[in-house]
Amino acid sequence: MSIRLLKKVVSSNLKVSEEHFKEIINGAIDDYDLLKEVLDREDEAHVLIERESHAVVLVTRSLAKLIPVSINSKNPLDSVKDQDLRKYFKAVLDGTESMDVRDFSFGEGEIKTVRISYMPFMLKDREYIDIRFNDITETLKKEVKLRNSEALASMTTMAAGVAHEIKNPLAAMQIYTSLLRKAIASGKAEEKANGYIDIIEQETERLNEIAVDFLFAVKPMQVDLKMDSLNDIIMELSDFIAVEAATKNIRITLHLDKFLPTLMLDRKLLRRALLNIINNSFYAMKNGGELIIEDKEDGNYVKLLVIDNGCGMSEETKKRIFEPYYTTKAESGTGLGLTTVLKIINAHQGEISLDSQLGVGTCFTFKFPIPKSQRKSLDRKE
């Protein structure tokens, strides 16, 4: 490779004839062209920018196929008309973009979706940003098909669940209306009617709750992600549950990382998810116990652990907990708690894992991605 030879000549001040030097330079140019050709042939397009000067160092040919740009201009990103894309590039260069990956759609007739990600790296004390573009239109079409069939399957489970859930309140309402009719007919309405009506009202409320829970589980969720402190949310929750914990003889222990980076969170939704998890733990610790909530930085993620030493789960339960309407709580559970949790964590691009042993306890682990702007170290490649 002539590039290597050129480096050697430059670094060691080797004396070479002008002729020979020209040869080496031409060889190095050929090497560059060859490498560029390899990159140009890739479906994934790259734009390489030097952070400080905003100078575009490299653009690969497939970029023009993916986003509407003029590849001949000095700075192709300047020729982008799409407002959202312009905003995105500005945020990436300013270091304020918080999402690792974003999808953008273009086109009037056939709409194309391009997934754009970026990767900052250091080379010889300069920071570069490699912005990558991938056409994911076909992949998305396949995913939609798959999701449609999955949605249909889960709708069937849901529908069966709802039918099962509403049966009990409806049966109770039927019984108490007929008792009420009998009481009126036998002139005992004054004595009995109020009690019967109370029960009918409670069952109506129960039906309403089932409808609200069901709608939350099936409707697309509105998420409002903002930079927020996970520790604050946990401390607020811990205050909120303190009284109930004390009456249930449950000790709450927090191990919170003081230097935790801020995360993109929807405070209201995350609170709701964590309350579901904590309520499950409280229920599992019928005779008291300890609830440990711990968070810590782990690579590009923040890990959050919620640990109880309650009854634990059987293998069968472990497999089914995220199924809508799966519950082992005969009368008191709807079985939508963890379905909701999963939905909320997915909306945060997070992950959930579970460790549980019968008679020992349960640990839920959540992983939330740390926004790039909050990560401590850049990938250093010298």
Ligand X SMILES: Nc1ncnc2c1ncn2[C@@H]1O[C@H](COP(=O)(O)OP(=O)(O)OP(=O)(O)O)[C@@H](O)[C@H]1O
Using the rule CB under 6 A, is 231 a contact of ligand X? no
**Between 274 and 321, CB nearer to ligand X:** 321
92 interacts with ligand X by CB under 6 A: no
What are the tokens at 71?
A: 């590849």
Residue 158's binding partner out of ligand X, Mg ion, none, with CB under 5 to 8 Å set by partner kind:
none
168 interacts with ligand X by CB under 6 A: no
Interaction pattern, residues 266-285, with ligand X; x per rule: CB under 6 A: ----------x---xx--x-
Burial class of 79 by CB neighbour count within 10 A (0 to 12, 13 to 18, 19+): middle
When binding is defined by CB under 5 A, the residue of 60, 280, 339, 340 that contacts Mg ion is 280
Residue 134 is a binding residue for Mg ion (CB under 5 A): no
Taking the CA atoms of residue 231, residue 233, residue 236 and residue 237 in that order, the dihedral angle to the nearest 10 degrees is -110
Please say whether the beta carbons of 242 and 283 come within 8 A: no
Angle between helices 189-218 and 337-347 (to 10 degrees): 30
Closest CB to ligand X: residue number: 337
CB 334 within 8 A of CB 213: yes
329 contact, one of Mg ion, ligand X, none, CB 5-8 Å limit per kind: ligand X
- Angle at the Cα of 374 (from 59 to 92), degrees rounded to 5? 25
Instruction: Please report, as residue ranges, which positions from 309 to 338 form the binding site for ligand X (by CB under 6 A).
Output: 310-313, 317, 321, 326-329, 333-338
Please report whether residue 169 would count as binding ligand X according to CB under 6 A: no
Question: Measured from the CB atom, is 45 or 273 closer to Mg ion?
Answer: 273
Number of residues lying near ligand X (CB under 6 A): 22
State which of positions 345-374 bind ligand X (CB under 6 A): 362
358 and 349 Cβ atoms separated by less than 8 Å: no
Is residue 180 part of the contact set for ligand X (CB under 6 A)? no
Report the distance separating Cα 214 and Cα 204, nearest Å: 15
DSSP string, 231-266: HHHHHHHHHHHHHHHHHTTEEEEEE--TTPPPEEE-
Considering the rule CB under 5 A, would residue 337 count as an interface residue with Mg ion?
yes
CB of 77 to Mg ion, least distance (A): 48
308 lines the binding site for ligand X (CB under 6 A)? yes
CA 2 centroid distance within chain: 47
* Shortest reach from residue 338's CB to Mg ion, in Å: 6
Q: Based on C-alpha coordinates, what's the Rg of the chain?
A: 30
Work out whether 281 is an interface residue with Mg ion (CB under 5 A). no
Shortest reach from residue 160's CB to ligand X, in Å: 16
Contact stretch for Mg ion (CB under 5 A) within 53-61, 74-82, 129-137, 279-287 = 279-287
Whether the Cβ atoms of residue 291 and residue 299 lie closer than 8 Å to each other:
no
User: Which DSSP symbol is given to 68?
Assistant: S
Q: Does 289 bind ligand X (CB under 6 A)?
A: no
Binding site for ligand X (CB under 6 A): 276, 280-281, 284, 308, 310-313, 317, 321, 326-329, 333-338, 362
